[in-house]
């Protein structure tokens, strides 16, 4: 498996502010993904982050709102900018790791509440 940590684990923020979420992996990985899980909903992919290149965003997500950094093969950050209550969600990072089969492992998530 993969050991993935996220910081912060949870936060309460005021609307209009920004929050940066960190994702740290215990070993080098090529692909890192950022997902959002809105209350009572399933997971939706925000973007794919490769080291050394711009993140690839899914439809409905833009870089100005969710800037992503991927400075090395073990670390990534996701910023939620100019937050509104609709951004209240769990944000999860995941990595792709191949053992016998290519498998995606998820971090513990960051619970964000925007007031």
Partner 1 sequence: SQELEQSPQSLIVQEGKNLTINCTSSKTLYGLYWYKQKYGEGLIFLMMLQKGGEEKSHEKITAKLDEKKQQSSLHITASQPSHAGIYLCGAPEGVKAAGNKLTFGGGTRVLVKP
Residue 104 pairs in a beta bridge with 96
Kindly indicate which of the ranges 13-21, 25-33, 65-73, 80-88 contains the residues binding partner 1, using the contact rule CB under 8 A.
25-33
CB of 9 to partner 1, least distance (A): 9
* Burial class for 24, CB neighbours closer than 10 Å (0-12, 13-18, 19+): middle
Residue 109 touches partner 1, criterion: CB under 8 A = yes
Report residue 17 as tokens.
């502010």
Q: Is 105 among the residues that bind partner 1 (CB under 8 A)?
A: yes
Q: How far is the CB of 54 from partner 1 (least distance, A)?
A: 14
């Amino acid at each position: 498996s993969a050991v993935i940590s996220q910081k912060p684990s949870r936060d309460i923020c005021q609307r209009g502010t920004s929050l940066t979420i960190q994702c740290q992996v215990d070993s080098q990985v090529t692909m890192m993904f950022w997902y959002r899980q809105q209350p009572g909903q399933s997971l939706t992919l925000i973007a794919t982050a490769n080291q050394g290149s711009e993140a690839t965003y899914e439809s409905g997500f833009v870089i100005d709102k969710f800037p992503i950094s991927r400075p090395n093969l073990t670390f990534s950050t996701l910023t939620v900018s100019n937050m509104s209550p609709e951004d209240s969600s769990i944000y999860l990072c995941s990595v792709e790791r191949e053992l016998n089969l290519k498998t995606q492992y998820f971090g513990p998530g960051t619970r964000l509440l925007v007031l």
